Amino acid sequence: MLGIMSGVQALEMAEQQELDLVKISPNAVPPVCKIMDYGKFRFDQMKKEKEARKNQRTVEVKEIRMSPGIDTNDFNVKMKNAIRFLSDGNRVKVSVRFRGREMAHTDIGEKLLVKFGEGCAEVANVDKNPKLDGRFMTMFLSPKNGK
């Protein structure tokens, strides 16, 4: 803390120390400045950003598609895959595709999705309940304890 001084005086002090005068908050009255090595400051900032990006994990949305006439074994295989995706920390989009006359029996697809949600209940929360969107009925699941 060197106190309030003119810009010329602060610039002279920075040049004497062979450093840069950097405005920290230019909109303040009076503006707040700091004497520092700007190149080193930018290098450290870039290093911190790179480290933060390395530790960041992107959550993917995996999709599982079914039809209303799916058999029990196929249903169980798809549920097992969904549980694996959820345990990896990914979200799962479960969709049922209706073709032709199947559109008249959307209640079958809704029951199928509710059953799927109940089967994954120990590892997942239902984000969005089954909703009909065109020829697809979709439901979103997210992992209970985020990794």
Q: Structural domain tally of the chain? A: 2
Q: Give the closest residue to 109 by CA, choosing from 141, 132, 83.
A: 132
pLDDT in tens, 41-53: 899 999 999 988 8
Are 47 and 94 part of one and the same domain? no
Instruction: State the sign of the Cα–Cα–Cα–Cα dihedral 106, 110, 115, 117.
Output: positive
Answer yes or no: is pLDDT of 58 > 90: no
Are 133 and 104 part of one and the same domain? yes
Cβ neighbours of 98 (radius 10 Å): 19
Domain of residue 96, CATH code: 3.30.110.10
Three-state SS for 134?
coil
Domain that holds residue 118: 61-143
Are 49 and 70 part of one and the same domain? no
Are 100 and 134 part of one and the same domain? yes
In this structure, is residue 2 part of a structural domain? no
Are 44 and 98 part of one and the same domain? no
pTM: 0.61
Percent of the chain at pLDDT exceeding 70 = 99
Are 48 and 70 part of one and the same domain? no
pLDDT in tens, 70-126: 999 999 999 999 999 998 889 999 999 999 998 898 999 999 999 999 998 888 899
Q: What is the pLDDT of residue 30?
A: 84
**Average confidence (pLDDT) over 20-41:** 88
- The residue type at 39: G
Residues 123 and 139: their CA atoms lie apart, in Å, by 15
Are 27 and 66 part of one and the same domain? no
- Split at pLDDT 50, 70, 90, the class of 62 is very high
Are 137 and 79 part of one and the same domain? yes
